[in-house]
């Protein structure tokens, strides 16, 4: 694997074609990505064709676009596409399978979702410059609701994503624990929990499936007695074990193993921030321990820290590469109604509502600069060894109208400097040092290895 360059990106929420100007920052970014021997993106849309049946319950928005936008991603040199994300089943198994078929038809190599769990889990391979690379992908967000399953001899498999589920436990002091226990009794919810436990035994749950005496499940949350109030999250050991098994497979079958991980969760119940939940850090490191060369994270729609773990890069979140969420053109009536919009509202009404009104400046994404800036890491390998990571700052054309917002281009110098400064500061906490360099008149971050 000599002289191989891999371009990595975060989320492509692409709903319309890229503009085709002759020479601008967007063209320069396209040139950068196509110059790589291998390019990865995470696709955060569903390309479903009629009849399109929406999923009923949703956090966020039903994300859909015409499969024609995939031609643009192909034209930008992407071969590897991650599909494990919380929107993968927005239009059910049919929408997911149609999306995979549309990607297959264009020659993409996809991982992270499929008609069965094994199909969603297993690595896919691509050749680049004589080297063989592999891609696997997983998602934590909504994983319980949209995970795939395998056929078991009696039942067919279920389409869905490759999950990394997690548990949350709240540690409190003895006094706080005693107070919560007394409150649980006083409210009658403790009796309710005991009744539910008894019923679950009737229904066939294993006796040990419930909380131990040291754990209080109060209002559906697990509290444990400890030294100080803090929140603990842990990834599912079973999911990590399955991921490790497939990463081990990819390790033996390829020269470069890339794992894509979609995770919106931050610490203390937060979401879409630049801090990473403990379970996500643990999961990403476990992928490297199992044999991955790169873990490329996304989910919060903004940049998070870069970590060099045992010499291998973990990009905890690369944010948005393409963010055309405001030109999703069809939305289910029940979604619009749940947003509080009157009957016969349309997608444009929703986008107006999210941007405006008395809450303008808090609603929508346009005012949040972090959603519209990212970096594209160019990872260089020589003789199978990682020898450099350059971070090319990218801006997504925020300061314009909805119909043109969200298109990426290499950032001008001043914006680029702000982006590199942010990723350097985010990464510092994990011991990663990012310096500045200049390439072709553009400011570029360089990760110390």
Give the residues lining the site for Zn ion (CB under 5 A).
85-86
Quick one: 256 or 304, whose CB is closer to Zn ion?
A: 304
Q: Closest approach of Cβ 141 to Zn ion, in Å?
A: 6
Residue 213, classified by CB atoms within 10 Å of its CB into exposed (0-12), middle (13-18) or buried (19+), is: exposed
Quick one: 12 or 345, whose CB is closer to Zn ion?
A: 12
Quick one: 143 or 447, whose CB is closer to Zn ion?
A: 143
Quick one: 59 or 367, whose CB is closer to Zn ion?
A: 59
Q: Closest approach of Cβ 296 to Zn ion, in Å?
A: 14
Which residues are registered as beta bridge partners of 128?
131
Quick one: 260 or 345, whose CB is closer to Zn ion?
A: 260
User: Phi and psi for 331 in degrees, rounded to 5?
Assistant: -135, 140
Q: Closest approach of Cβ 44 to Zn ion, in Å?
A: 6
Helical pair 237-253 and 278-289, crossing angle rounded to 10 deg: 30
Please give the C-alpha separations between residue 182 and each of 142, 169, 175, 193, in angstroms, as whole numbers: 32, 19, 11, 14
Give buried/exposed letters for 381-410 (b at 16+ CB in 10 A, else e). beeeebeebbbbbbbbbbeeebeebbbbbb
Q: Closest approach of Cβ 385 to Zn ion, in Å?
A: 33
Quick one: 184 or 265, whose CB is closer to Zn ion?
A: 265
Contacts for 412-418: CB closer than 8 Å, 24+ residues apart: 412/25, 413/441, 413/442, 413/443, 415/373, 416/442, 416/443, 416/444, 417/393, 417/443, 418/373
Give the whole-angstrom CA distance, residue 124 versus residue 157.
Answer: 20
Q: Closest approach of Cβ 261 to Zn ion, in Å?
A: 11
Q: Closest approach of Cβ 96 to Zn ion, in Å?
A: 14
Quick one: 54 or 77, whose CB is closer to Zn ion?
A: 54
Quick one: 15 or 193, whose CB is closer to Zn ion?
A: 15
State whether residue 35 is helix, strand or coil: helix
Q: Closest approach of Cβ 280 to Zn ion, in Å?
A: 13
Nearest CA to 355 among 298, 409, 396, 405?
A: 405
Contacts for 100-108: CB closer than 8 Å, 24+ residues apart: 102/47, 102/67, 102/70, 103/43, 103/70, 106/70, 106/71, 106/74, 107/74, 107/79, 108/70, 108/73, 108/74, 108/78, 108/79, 108/80, 108/81
Q: Closest approach of Cβ 374 to Zn ion, in Å?
A: 15
In 106-217, alpha helices (H): 117-121, 143-146, 174-187, 189-203
Q: Closest approach of Cβ 205 to Zn ion, in Å?
A: 31
Give the whole-angstrom CA distance, residue 28 versus residue 444.
Answer: 14
DSSP 194: H
Q: Closest approach of Cβ 223 to Zn ion, in Å?
A: 29
Quick one: 324 or 415, whose CB is closer to Zn ion?
A: 324
Asked whether the beta carbons of 48 and 98 are under 8 A apart, the reply is: yes
Quick one: 164 or 420, whose CB is closer to Zn ion?
A: 164
DSSP 318: B
């Amino acid at each position: 694997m000599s002289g191989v360059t891999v371009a990595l990106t975060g989320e492509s929420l692409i709903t319309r074609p890229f503009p085709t100007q002759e020479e601008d920052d967007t063209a320069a970014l396209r040139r950068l990505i196509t110059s790589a021997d291998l390019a990865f993106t995470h696709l955060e849309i569903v390309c479903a064709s009629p009849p399109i049946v929406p999923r009923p319950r949703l956090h966020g928005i039903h994300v859909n676009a015409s499969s024609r936008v995939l031609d643009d991603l192909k034209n930008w040199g992407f071969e590897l596409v991650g599909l494990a994300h919380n929107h993968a089943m927005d239009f059910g198994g049919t929408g997911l399978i149609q999306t995979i078929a549309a990607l297959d038809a264009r020659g993409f190599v996809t991982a992270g979702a499929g008609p069965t769990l094994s199909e969603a889990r297993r690595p896919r391979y691509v050749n680049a410059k004589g080297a063989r690379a592999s891609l696997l992908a997983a998602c934590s967000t909504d994983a319980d609701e949209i995970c795939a399953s395998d056929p078991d001899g009696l039942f067919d498999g279920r389409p869905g994503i490759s999950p990394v589920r997690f548990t949350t436990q709240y540690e409190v002091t003895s006094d706080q624990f005693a107070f919560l226990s007394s409150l649980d009794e006083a409210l009658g919810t403790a009796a309710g929990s005991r009744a539910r436990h008894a019923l679950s035994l009737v229904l066939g749950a294993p006796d040990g499936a419930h909380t131990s005496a040291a754990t209080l499940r109060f209002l559906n949350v697990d509290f444990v007695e400890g030294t100080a109030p803090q929140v603990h999250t842990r990834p599912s050991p079973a999911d990590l074990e399955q991921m490790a098994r497939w990463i081990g497979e990819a390790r033996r079958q390829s020269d470069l193993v890339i794992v894509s991980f979609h995770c919106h969760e931050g610490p203390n119940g937060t979401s879409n921030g630049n801090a990473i939940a403990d379970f996500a850090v643990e999961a990403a490191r476990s992928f490297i321990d199992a044999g991955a060369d790169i873990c490329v994270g996304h989910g919060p729609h903004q940049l998070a820290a870069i970590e060099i773990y045992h010499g291998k890069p973990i990009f905890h979140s690369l944010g948005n590469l393409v963010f055309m969420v405001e030109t999703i053109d069809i939305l289910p009536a029940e979604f619009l109604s749940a947003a509080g919009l009157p009957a016969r509202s349309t997608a444009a009404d929703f986008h107006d509502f999210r941007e405006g009104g008395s809450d303008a400046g808090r609603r929508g994404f346009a005012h949040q600069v972090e959603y519209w800036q990212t970096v594209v890491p160019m990872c260089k390998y020589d003789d199978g060894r990682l020898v450099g990571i350059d971070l090319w700052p990218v801006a997504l054309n925020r300061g314009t109208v909805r119909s043109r917002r969200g298109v990426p281009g290499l950032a001008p110098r001043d914006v680029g400097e702000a982006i590199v400064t942010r990723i350097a500061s985010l990464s510092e906490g994990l011991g990663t040092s990012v310096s500045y360099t200049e390439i072709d008149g553009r400011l570029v971050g360089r990760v110390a290895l």
